């Protein structure tokens, strides 16, 4: 038993003892002068109010601070997660899957959609190793790689020197209204902000 639990049990014992003495005095089993009975009753009411307020505050804190477990959030969407590059009309779809020993893997594809709705695959993404998402984690870092396609070099010539290469990327995400973070490679000019939202068919 730790110190916090010991203090809780001590105060609970004091509260119960006070309540028993007051009840015994009310039914006449214990003789107390009127002034002491009034003080004891006041003390008992004060203890009850303090306990109710204390438990209420604790419950409100838990409700306010309650967060969805990050691992559950990553694995839950049926269609995966979308990562948008709105200014380029690029869209990436990521899937997180359970792996051995409670770990998680990730894979995804980035593509551009033209005016007729045709998709061109630009980048393939994958985690380089299964990763842990500890309980109550507020952020997760994924060691990943991206492989740029020939179409990507056509759409964005700045990617032409990366075609076919496995480029190491570190992806960091944390739950907000969506999943947000960054994708950082060795070239800071090719660092992208990440905002993933629930995907839809």
- CA neighbor of 198 nearest in space, from 183, 178, 181: 178
Task: Give residue limits of the domains in the chain.
Answer: 3-65, 70-198
Q: Which helix (H) or strand (E) holds 73?
A: helix 70-75
How is domain 70-198 classified at the CATH fold level? Porin (2.40.160)
Separation in Å, CA 161 to CA 38, 40, 74, 125, 157? 86, 82, 32, 17, 8
pTM of the model: 0.57
Distance CA 173, CA 55 (A): 34
Please state, in angstroms and rounded to a whole number, the distance separating the CA atoms of residues 171 and 126: 11
SS3 (DSSP) at 47? helix
How would you classify the pairing of strands 119-127 and 104-113?
antiparallel
| Confidence band for 68, pLDDT divided at 50, 70 and 90 | low
| Predicted pLDDT at 201 | 64
- The rounded Cα 193 to chain-centroid distance in angstroms is 19
Choose among 96, 143, 146: nearest CA to 121.
146
Q: What's 181's DSSP letter?
A: E
pLDDT single digits (tens) 5-63:
787 788 788 888 888 887 888 788 888 788 887 888 888 788 888 877 877 777 777 66
- Best mean pLDDT range from 5-19, 74-88, 145-159: 145-159
Give the chain's mean pLDDT: 83
Q: Two tokens at 40? A: 């004891």
Q: Enumerate residues 6+ apart whose C-beta is below 8 A from 106.
A: 94, 95, 96, 97, 125, 126, 127, 131, 142, 144, 171
Residue with tokens 């179409």: 151
pLDDT at 100 over 80: yes
* Chain position carrying tokens 């952020």: 139
- Dmax (CA) of the chain: 95
In this prediction, residues 107-123 reach a mean pLDDT of 86
Closest CA to 144 of 119, 124, 122: 124
Q: Are 40 and 25 in contact (CB under 8 A)?
A: yes
User: Token pair of 185, please?
Assistant: 């490679």
């Amino acid at each position: 038993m730790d110190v916090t639990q010991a203090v809780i049990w001590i105060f609970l014992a004091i509260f119960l003892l006070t309540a028993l003495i007051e009840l015994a005095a009310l039914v006449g089993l214990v003789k107390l002068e009127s002034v002491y009975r009034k003080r004891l009753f006041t003390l008992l009411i004060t203890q009850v109010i303090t306990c109710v307020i204390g438990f209420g505050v604790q419950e409100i804190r838990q409700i306010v601070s309650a967060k969805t477990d990050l691992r559950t959030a990553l694995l839950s969407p049926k269609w995966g997660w979308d990562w948008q590059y709105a200014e380029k009309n690029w869209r990436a779809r990521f899937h997180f899957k359970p792996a051995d020993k409670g770990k998680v893997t990730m894979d995804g594809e980035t593509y551009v959609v033209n005016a007729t709705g045709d998709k061109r695959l630009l980048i393939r993404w994958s985690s380089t190793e299964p990763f842990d998402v500890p309980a109550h984690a507020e952020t997760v870092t994924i060691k990943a790689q991206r492989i740029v396609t020939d179409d990507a070099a056509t759409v964005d010539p700045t990617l032409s020197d990366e075609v076919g290469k496995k480029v190491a990327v570190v992806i960091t995400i944390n739950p907000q209204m969506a999943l947000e973070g960054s994708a950082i490679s060795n070239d800071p000019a090719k660092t992208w902000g990440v905002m993933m939202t629930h995907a839809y068919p």
